[in-house]
Amino acid sequence: MTERLRLINAVIKYGDVKAVDDVSLTVRDGEFVFITGANGSGKSTLTRGIAGLLPLSSGTITRTERLGYVPQVEEADRNFPASVWEIVITGTQGRGGLFYSMGSRRRALQAMDELGIRDLAKRGINSLSGGQLRRVLLARALCGEPELLLLDEPCAGLDAESHALLFSVLRKNVASGCAVIMVTHDASDLEGIHADRVITLSHGRIVNDE
């Protein structure tokens, strides 16, 4: 199996505070990994570190370049003048090229179909509900054909139907060899879901990996 992520003794600090403390973790293709823990346990910091948004204070990280990242909160102006289509297709920009190819457009459409948001394509992002926006962000992550999907609290604000759809889409990607890391603080997200591993964080350290 191919490694998609390897963290060795990773430390991420905010000032003198270690938000992630000596975390070592390897994730391979086709693995479905949950990271859980209480608020403030370092889950989101670890996620942002893996996504390359926070530098490691020490330790090393090796990961595939084809990352699909779904942040907990979209760090963007909700009134930004953009349509759903314009946002989704940006997910293909990690594959290089300054212009969107036919392949990029096809993948973006496929991802929107998969998540049932094609009819929203021309809608402004400022008109979406929280649940619709989460589907848009997942479609954006998927259309880059990621080898590693990194999702930070993707179930927040989802109704039961969207929740089921999310896991069906994730399962399909895992089956095709994508590694999935999903961060959640809510243990109920794990109910009825078969995860390959559940990692528990506390005070920035891995306290359980089973």
Partner 1 sequence: MMSELLEILTYPFVYRALIAGALISVCASVLGVILVLKHYSLIGHGLSEVGFASLSIASALGLPVMLVSAPAVIIASFVIMFVSQRFRAAGDIAIAIASSAALALGVLVSSLTGQVSAVSNYLFGSVLALSDGDMILAVMLSLIVMGVFIVFYNRLFLLAYNEDYARSLGINTTLYQFVISALTALVVVMGMRITGTLLISGIIILPAVTARRLASGFRSLVVMSGIVSLVSFVLGLAVSFMINIPAGAGVILANTVILILVRVIF
Of 129, 124, 47, residue with least CA distance to 87: 124
Pairing mode, if any, of strands 17-28 and 3-14? antiparallel
Report the residue from 6, 30, 57, 83 that binds partner 1 according to the rule CB under 8 A. 83
Asked if residue 62 binds partner 1 (CB under 8 A), the reply is no
* Closer of 55 and 192 to partner 1 (Cβ): 55
- Tokens 């095709």, located at residue: 176
Of 127, 131, 75, 136, residue with least CA distance to 108: 136
Report the amino acid identity of residue 33: V
Asked if residue 209 binds partner 1 (CB under 8 A), the reply is no
Report the residue from 30, 59, 94, 177 that binds partner 1 according to the rule CB under 8 A. 94
Report the residue from 5, 19, 87, 199 that binds partner 1 according to the rule CB under 8 A. 87
Beta-bridge mates of residue 83 = 124
Q: Which two tokens stand for residue 97?
A: 């090229």
Asked if residue 49 binds partner 1 (CB under 8 A), the reply is no
* Closer of 77 and 161 to partner 1 (Cβ): 77
Q: Which two tokens stand for residue 56?
A: 């490691």
Catalog residues that contact partner 1 under the rule CB under 8 A: 51-53, 65, 67, 69, 71, 74-77, 80-83, 86-87, 90-91, 93-94, 98-100, 124, 144
